[in-house]
Structures are given as C-alpha cells and as structure tokens.
Amino acid sequence: MQGRDLTVTSAADGVRLRVREWGAGCDACVLIHGFGEGGYVWNRFAPSIARLFRTLAVDLRGHGESSWDPTGRYCVERHVADVLDVIEVLRLKRFVMIGHSLGGDIAIRITAARPRTVIGLVVVDFGPDPIPEGSARVRSDFNESMRTWDSLAEYVSWLQERRPLIDLGMIQDLASGALRATSDGGFRPKCDPALGKEDTFEDRTETWRLLEGILSPVLVVRGIGSAVLSDNIARQMSKVLRNGRMRIVDCAGHAVMSDNPNGFVEALSPFLLHVRTISSIEGHG
C-alpha cells in the first residue's frame, strides 16, 4: 500500500510539518517517532494496520521532512502542540496514539489531554524513568551522526555497528529515510543538529501522574534487550494504568519496530484489533 504526503502548518510559528498517510476511514492511528529519527521508521509497519485505521505518521519539527525550529530550541511541549495541530487540521475525531521513545512521551501527554478522543494508546520503549546510560548513548550516537557522509553505504555500515539486530534491508531503508544528498555529492542527516543540545531525555516525574489518570486501553511495549526502558519500569507502568497491559518483543532492543518488525506487528495487532472492535461498537451505540 502506497502512502500519501500531507503538509500541516504549525499554528504557533508556521513550521511546516510533514505527515505520511495510509488508508482511510473515520478512526485514525497517529504514529510518533523517536528522538533523532522520522516518520520513515513506520514505513513497514503502517501498511499492516491501514486496513483497520486511517494511519498517519508525523515528522516532528526538526526531524525528517519537517521544517526546523526557527529558534533552534526543542522541547516536548512544542512537539505536543504540533501534533495537536495535526489532529485539528486533519479533523481527527477518534484515534489511537502510538509513540516510540520521545514519541511515547508525546503520545502519553496527548492521551491525557484528549481523553474523549484517544481510543487507545501504545507506548513503545518509553518510560518515566529511562536508564541514564541508554538515553545518553542515544544522544551520543545522534551527535556523532551529524556530519557529512561520503555515501549511503558508509552510513549503513555505521548504523550496522550500532544496531546489530536490524537486518540489512531495514538498515538501508532507515539510511535512505535519515539522509539527504548534498550539493557536493555527500549526504547529511535531515535532522536539525540543534536537537542534540536539548535534554530531551530528562526525567519527567509528572509522567507517572499522567499514566495513572488515563482511562483508555494502553499497551506498553518493550524490546527485551532495551537499554533505555527497564523491565521493572515497564511492569510498573502496566500496573499503574487503569486499563493497561504489557508485551515484550523478543530479539529487539530500544528500536523495537526496526529490530524485529514481525514481532512488533504480532505484539500490537491483537490490541489494535480489540480497540478497533470496541470503537466500532461504540460508534454504532
């Protein structure tokens, strides 16, 4: 299934946000990527759920094909406001939020702010108290990648060293999504280098309070080898949620949907089908 590109403009400062869309229908699924990546990380996953939901992958400001912040400053609250702009402009009335890493934080905040319109939430390898060493590694790798690469193959080799669980085809897809060609024949990351200066992974104690107040069905997903979300925190999250459950994906680290795409789909499919069924019943009630 081929996707379509949409553009939404931020109401606050005119930043252009790229949105990739698959499928159609009244109920939607909004996909939010993690720090330093882009909506392209969902390219293999999105078509598999587009038969259930109109599926939308957002490039956060400073990421992917979206514009960079004019001030070079990034914070989770600004990202939340941007995604809410997407929701308003595209007139999404009932939707599922799926967020990975930083996207998980954004998805939790939107779910808490829109309890009547978010019909389900999937938090992928994000928690209120991330493992400091793992979070620092994510930021370090991002800053190291912010240079000109001689070729896509050079960047692919660099990624393979850091993400050994991902197969070559997926690595090549990620590299193509992450880089753009330069005028001198090289390649540069699409992300704003200023992202690496912000403390995106700071401890946010309010997240526990937000989780406790969410009534929608929630699925917490953790890669079994994650160096960012500990097993203990993931289990605590599923317990404090009023309607929560947890799935562990084997053969996966922090980048769950890239490390084990099939396992990721298997973990989410029953939950999304359940949410879709409930939504259909309520919609005809």
Long-range contacts of 104-109 (CB under 8 A, 24+ apart): 104/32, 104/34, 105/76, 105/204, 105/207, 106/32, 106/60, 106/76, 106/79, 106/80, 107/30, 107/32, 108/207, 108/210, 108/211, 108/214, 109/76, 109/80, 109/210
Provide the residue count of the chain.
Answer: 285
pLDDT of residue 281: 73
Asked if the model's pLDDT at residue 245 lies above 70, the reply is yes
Asked if the model's pLDDT at residue 140 lies above 50, the reply is yes
- Domain locations in the chain as residue ranges: 4-130+214-283
When pLDDT is averaged across residues 40-68 and rounded to a whole number, the result is 97
pLDDT of residue 199: 59
Selection from 115, 96, 112 nearest residue 32 by Cα: 96
pLDDT tens readout for residues 5-33: 999 999 999 999 999 999 999 999 999 99
pLDDT of residue 282: 73
Asked if the model's pLDDT at residue 65 lies above 70, the reply is yes
pLDDT of residue 27: 95
pLDDT of residue 284: 47
120 and 53 Cβ atoms separated by less than 8 Å: no
Share above pLDDT 70 across residues of the chain, in percent, rounded to a whole number: 96
Share above pLDDT 90 across residues of the chain, in percent, rounded to a whole number: 93
pLDDT tens readout for residues 89-139: 999 999 999 999 999 999 999 999 999 999 999 999 999 999 999 999 999
179 and 187 Cβ atoms separated by less than 8 Å: yes
pLDDT of residue 141: 97
Selection from 283, 280, 226 nearest residue 255 by Cα: 226
pLDDT of residue 237: 97
Asked if the model's pLDDT at residue 69 lies above 90, the reply is yes
- Dist CA 29 CA 2 (whole Å): 16
When pLDDT is averaged across residues 145-168 and rounded to a whole number, the result is 97
CATH among 3.40.50.720, 3.40.630.30, 1.10.3720.10, 3.40.50.1820 for 4-130+214-283: 3.40.50.1820
When pLDDT is averaged across residues 179-185 and rounded to a whole number, the result is 96
pLDDT of residue 204: 63
Query: Using alpha carbons only, what angle is made at residue 122 by residues 55 and 268, rounded to the nearest 5 degrees?
Result: 75
Q: Residue 55: helix, strand or coil by DSSP? A: strand
Selection from 84, 33, 91 nearest residue 57 by Cα: 33
pTM, two decimals, is: 0.96
Residue 211 has which token pair? 């989780």
pLDDT classification of 201: cutoffs 50, 70, 90: very low
pLDDT of residue 2: 84
pLDDT of residue 198: 64
pLDDT of residue 9: 98
**Chain centre distance of CA 153:** 25
